[in-house]
Structure 1
Amino acid sequence: MNNNAFGIKRLSEVTPSSETPFLIEGLVHRTATMIYGRPKAGKSFVALSAAMALGEGTPWLGREVEAKNTLLWALDPGQEDETWQRFNTANGAKESRLFITDVRPEDTDEWWAEFSDVLLSTGVEVLIVDNLSALLGRGSYNNDADVRPALGRLQALLDEGIAIVLVHHAGKFNEEQGSQKSPMGSTAIEAWGRQFVQVTDDQELRILRVYGNNTPEKELGIALNFNGEGDDGAFVTLIGEEETVAMSAEHEELVAKARARWESRKERQKKQGRSPQQKAGKKLETVRAPKTNGIPERIIDALRENPVGMGWNELDKAVTGASGAKSKAANEMVQAGTLTRSKEGNRTIYRLAR
């Protein structure tokens, strides 16, 4: 086999890329980013704010941003006009490299191939898709068979070097747990992304929960001004930022926490009767327990209908089941005192014990 034909090499010989994985450090990935949240949480405003920063090359939420040819794909009815109004309200720059289209996608490979060619020929570097539902048509978020073709077409654009920011919905609200932390629908949706920004609202405060493959989980608190004003980008002002889950820790601290977690898990399983030892005990009891298949009950029913008693041949015919199992069950019932067995002439008679 010619290893070079398949790019096979020693891992130690790989030359890592010096390119940052982000278009906006720690927030927007240079491949696949998903911004999601419940309706009215402000996810489209956050996406537009990021798009304006990318189109103009202006800082966003405290990060430097390099200008990119950015296309906002507005797929909701009337969204193009609505986005234009928001752009002007926020005093968007006329020389901005932010573009927009509201063309409706067709469910054909030919249409998507032409769309890809147009994006590449016009130099689009970032595509912001608002939102996923329009790409699914009549398909369901929860059905892998509906979701995968749409994500596959976006993946083809990623393979051409176009970064994609996909706007989507969060899972349904739960009164006990609050907003669900994952994007709505099939696990294929979350598997597609490399970076995630969940938008939740707490009255005037918006929380951006950020997580992904290349960053520790963190939360950013922002004020979202629908009038367009913002100190850290159009519409947005950064209030605070903190890591919620560290990606690294001191080895001793990590091992100590893991050990404590392990002990806590064992104790919890023990209380719930789910420890490996308890499961093994239950399994052993199950194996040792005789499989009667309802034979004792059928023997009792037959003898109730014949209170004077039945010979073994009569009882064997009256009760369904294997003869060996019936004989064993009858013997055990005699030993337990449920039945009596007596010799009467040449016959062995079984009766219910009184």
Structure 2
Amino acid sequence: MSTFPTTLVHCLSERTEEQKWLVDQLWTVGAVGIIGGEPKCCKSFLALSLAIAVSSGVPCLGRYKVHKQGRVVIYAAEDAPHIVKGRLEGLSKKNNLNLDSLDIHAITVPSIRLDREEDQLKLKRTIEKLRPQLLILDPFVRLHRIDENASGEVAFILASLREIQRTYQTAIIIVHHSKKGATGRAGQGLRGSSEFHAWGDVNLYLRRDKNDQLLLSIEHRDAKSQTGIPLQITEENGSIVLSVSDENIFLKSIEKESINKKIEQLFEADDTIISFSDLRARVGARATNVSATLKEMVEQGILERVTGGYQRATN
């Protein structure tokens, strides 16, 4: 009877920091994951921005360097081919590129059903033939007829995509919806089974704050995560263009992320109650910044205000 191959752990291959990234800070090489958010949060445009970046080598969102340029395959289940082409042409012109020079392939069948083994096999053969650096499937809800709340049914589809990723070292992005009005951690707000959140090596979340500012959060399994990165939305050449807002706002978002992470660490014990003055001293940041972060975490359902200070939300 045959056995599985093994190797000593110290003999396993390593990657340098540069080899690790497909797009610096945004997506790691060969990672699977989700672009999630409520409707009208530009999820598809973020996916197309990544497609342009990976296929051309230009920085994604005007900031994030591409470390491994290569072919991209897209399946846009909700948009007609001329719409996808128009959006990509607009993004190409914004970056002073010609679309016909980019190695982006679109799957053109009317529908794909990843809950059927026949379509799983067709997708696998497509990736085997084209060997892309990146596969984008948008959106997940149009790729099946399963119950998204049934973990076993969802896991069956996600496992087939993981097999493709591991076999061909292809990064895979699924565009997926969040529940409307979801609070708490972004990953927990994804619609359907918790399998989605658990599956992702990288997850990107888009949301709008109370001032309608579009914010990007980046969640990594194997790298530093970031939250609250403000994005600027412009319309050029008939296409929505996303970019990170100016440097000062960007740097403030990094500071905010650090405060957020420190506060979360302080509340690792569910029954911990910490006063504001103690929080400020232990976080080591200005009172206004700590107060603003606490307010946002309460609004998101992560923390709650109680007598004596704050504690992790119990709901």
Q: Same fold (TM over 0.5)?
A: yes
Match of 2:175 in 1: 167
Match of 1:98 in 2: 104
Q: CA deviation at 1:109?
A: 2.2
Residues 89/242 of structure 1: CA separation in 2 closer, same or farther (3 Å cut) = same
Gaps of 5+ in 1: 273-354
Contact 1:125/1:163, CA 8 A, preserved across alignment: yes
Contact 2:86/2:238, CA 8 A, preserved across alignment: no
Letter matched to residue 222 of structure 1: L
Residues 194/266 of structure 1: CA separation in 2 closer, same or farther (3 Å cut) = same
2:47 maps to 1:41 = no
Structure 2: distance between partners of 1:147 and 1:34? 14
Moved more, 24-33 or 106-115: 106-115
Query: Which of 254, 260, 265 lines up with 1:242 in the alignment?
Result: 254
Gaps of 5+ in 2: 276-305, 308-315
Residues 117/223 of structure 1: CA separation in 2 closer, same or farther (3 Å cut) = same
Give per-residue Cα distances to partners, 1:14-40, cap 9 Å, x unaligned: 453336332111111222131110000
Match of 1:142 in 2: 149
- 1:48-197 map, 5 Å: 48-61=48-61, 62-65=63-66, 66-76=68-78, 78-90=79-91, 91=93, 93=98, 94-103=100-109, 104-106=111-113, 107-137=115-145, 139-160=146-167, 161-174=169-182, 177=183, 181-182=187-188, 183-197=190-204
Contact 1:53/1:60, CA 8 A, preserved across alignment: yes
Query: Which of 227, 231, 236 lines up with 1:222 in the alignment?
Result: 231
- 1:20-35 map, 5 Å: 20-30=19-29, 31-35=31-35
Q: CA deviation at 1:200?
A: 0.9
Bigger relative CO (Cα 8 Å, ≥ 6 apart): 2
Letter matched to residue 28 of structure 1: W
> Cα RMSD between the aligned structures?
3.5
Structure 2: distance between partners of 1:13 and 1:158? 22
Contact 1:224/1:236, CA 8 A, preserved across alignment: yes
Match of 1:17 in 2: 15
Residues 102/15 of structure 1: CA separation in 2 closer, same or farther (3 Å cut) = closer
Give per-residue Cα distances to partners, 1:149-190, cap 9 Å, x unaligned: 21122112112211101111112315xx48955322111111
2:178 maps to 1:198 = no
Q: Rg larger in 1 or in 2?
A: 1
State how many pairs are aligned.
Answer: 254
Identity of aligned residues (%): 19
Structure 1: distance between partners of 2:85 and 2:269? 54
Contact 1:216/1:247, CA 8 A, preserved across alignment: no
Structure 1: distance between partners of 2:108 and 2:231? 29
Structure 2: distance between partners of 1:25 and 1:261? 29
Structure 2: distance between partners of 1:44 and 1:221? 17
Contact 1:229/1:235, CA 8 A, preserved across alignment: no
